[in-house]
Chain A
Amino acid sequence: MFTKILFPTDFSEAAEKAKDKLVEMSKCNIGEIILLHVVDIRIFSYSTMLDIIEVDNWKKDGKLIKELNRKLDAWKDELEKAGLKVSTEIKEGIPFDEILKYSENNGVTLILLPSVGHGVVERMLVGSTAEKVLRKSKVSVILLR
């Protein structure tokens, strides 16, 4: 049941707490963990509309991806120290959609969801992500608190 856990993270406080819970679960004979960050393409629609950023710029100069990889690797290190087997993954799209797609296409057996995200706007986004994953997932889900 815990053979392949998908842990989608937005690096929020709630996700941070979820990471600690995952460490608590490490004695559970966990196979592997995939740390996934989805670059939410919806945030780019505003900036392109206002000409602040070219849609593809964040990919071209590679800064965003570099920073995300740095963060993901730090989390990976921490989880590996607890004896877990971890890999990282970055996708772009709408978070709930990418989470569902990834889990169905990669034999994920459990999706880990922190319950709330950070900030007022983010909280709504993260909240709706968790809610949609919960409702549409074909894979077992754990909601952490």
Chain B
Amino acid sequence: MFTRILFPTDFSVHAKKVKTKILKMKDCGIKELVLLHVVNKKLFGYSPISQELTINDMFIDGDITKSAELKLKGWGKDLESTDITIKYDVVKGNPFDEIIEYSLKENCTLIIMGSKGLTEAEELLIGSTAEKVARKSKIPVIIIK
């Protein structure tokens, strides 16, 4: 169950908490850890600037994906260790769909994620990405509070 873990992160404080938990999971026999960030398409809208050049072309396929990759690699540094292989990946789309699809495509055995993320809503106990992934995932999911 712990051989290939998928850890989707939005770089929030909640996702950071997940990192500290993973560091405490040394005995679980983790072989591979995949850090995934989904560039949320919704945040960019879809209206094209011109027929030829869409906002997607300008940002999502260009600078934003690249800077997300850089950010992800720096952010995950403290998880690197000799006995765990870490993979970093950035995809674009709708976070919960992409997380589930990625977990299947990459044969992950477990998803671990924060209960909340970037949205600062105190009265909320669980965010929409976490809830949807927990409900729809085909593999076990740990939601960290």
**Minimum CB–CB distance for A80 against chain B, Å:** 19
Count B interface residues, CB 8 Å. 23
**Minimum CB–CB distance for A129 against chain B, Å:** 14
Q: Are A135 and B1 in contact (CB under 8 A)?
A: no
What sequence of 0s and 1s flags, for each residue 78-92 of chain A, a beta carbon within 8 Å of any chain B beta carbon? 000000000000000
Q: Are B145 and A1 in contact (CB under 8 A)?
A: no
Interface presence of A57 (CB below 8 A): no
Contact residues in A for B139 (Cβ distance below 8 Å): 145
Q: Are A134 and B140 in contact (CB under 8 A)?
A: no
Q: Are A142 and B2 in contact (CB under 8 A)?
A: no
Interface members, chain A 99-145 (any B CB < 8 Å): 110, 131, 134-145
Interface presence of B77 (CB below 8 A): no
Residues of A within 8 A of B (CB): 1, 21, 24-25, 27-29, 110, 131, 134-145
Query: Besides A24-B1, A141-B142, A145-B140, 12 other CB < 8 A contacts?
Result: A27-B27, A27-B29, A28-B2, A28-B25, A131-B135, A134-B134, A135-B126, A138-B125, A140-B21, A140-B142, A140-B143, A142-B141
Residues of B within 8 A of A (CB): 1-2, 21, 24-25, 27-29, 115, 125-126, 131, 134-135, 137-145
19 contacts between A and B (CB under 8 A): A1-B21, A25-B2, A27-B28, A28-B2, A28-B25, A28-B27, A28-B28, A134-B126, A134-B143, A135-B125, A135-B131, A137-B145, A138-B125, A138-B145, A139-B145, A141-B134, A142-B142, A142-B143, A145-B139
